[in-house]
Structure 1
Amino acid sequence: MSHTVGSYNPVKKQKSPPSTMFAHSSQSSSNSRRMVRRSSTGPILQHSKKKSSSPPQVRRRTSFTTISVREYEQCLGDCPATQEGAPISLGWAYEEKQSISLDEYEEARKPRRRRSELVLGVMERRQKLLSAGSSFLEVIHAERAVALKNGLLFSMSRQNDQKKKPASLSNHKSFTPRAA
């Protein structure tokens, strides 16, 4: 369905009508009529009968009433940022826990944790992976892969440091760099 309101002709047609819609008209001091169309699923469009070269103003608004909680499985991951131990990820399988109102959720939820509180230690990750069904061998292989990757990165960065040294320093046999 296509509507023309004032001088505005919609470019995109909506595939399905929004769940709620109403029109509000008001008179301004210049006697131009304005129409405001509101939708619970889309943006609020403001139109004017006056011809204007600028597009209509669009204000986007989103609101939520309920929250659906899902609990995802934890599995062996492949996060490249892991420095030590086996990486842990969320799997595809999940279990629907509950749907509650947003207000109830906000009242019951715990305060936000700091970033340092979100980091899992090596042993804690290992224990979570083993209790989630990963085999001990899989976890050990993942831990070794991370250690190997970080060891290679360390040795590569050390080689790059050696290449960046001035020639006068690298040719001296008595020069040995100290670790900082």
Structure 2
Amino acid sequence: MTTTPPTVEQVEALRRTHIAEYPDFPTPGVLFRDITPLLRDAAALRAVIRHWTSMLPDGIEYIVGTEARGFVLGAPLAYELGAGFVPARKAGKLPGDPASLRYDLEYGSAEIQIPENSLPAGARTVVVDDLLATGGTAAATIELAHRFEVELLGASFLIELEGLGGRDKLPGVPLTAVWTLPN
């Protein structure tokens, strides 16, 4: 069923009513944005996904979604676009010999993996996650996707937090976000 995407004003209204904010969580000074209210409202989620797909470039063959909320949002985006979905998972969650990349975070390090043989060379690909903050996880996912020699069309996020330097860690990568919010 193809329908017209909602207007920018309608999508902004959904942000105000469907993204909960929790000050000082998980630590003092952090304003946590919770997408659970959006996820539990089928009509609102459908509207946001329709709007989001209208922001993406044409010809996407694969969405790479970063664990875990990138799965929740990337899979319906892929479905709506008629594209395949490939998970970028935390280490130790995939069988076989997945492509793997260890990267540094603000407080420690992490490792991300993509299943072996899941992205054909030249595939028109977009990396998706719920949030762009400092950019470490997004940069690692993009670097890992490049190992498959894909044609990276960009990275896209439900929310981008301004002022945390996320964009700076993704030079040359076309970025889109449904909502750009102050930190």
State the structure with bigger RCO (CA 8 A, min sep 6), 1 or 2.
2
User: Structure 1-normalised TM-score?
Assistant: 0.18
The structure in which a higher percent of residues are strand is 2
User: Structure 2-normalised TM-score?
Assistant: 0.18
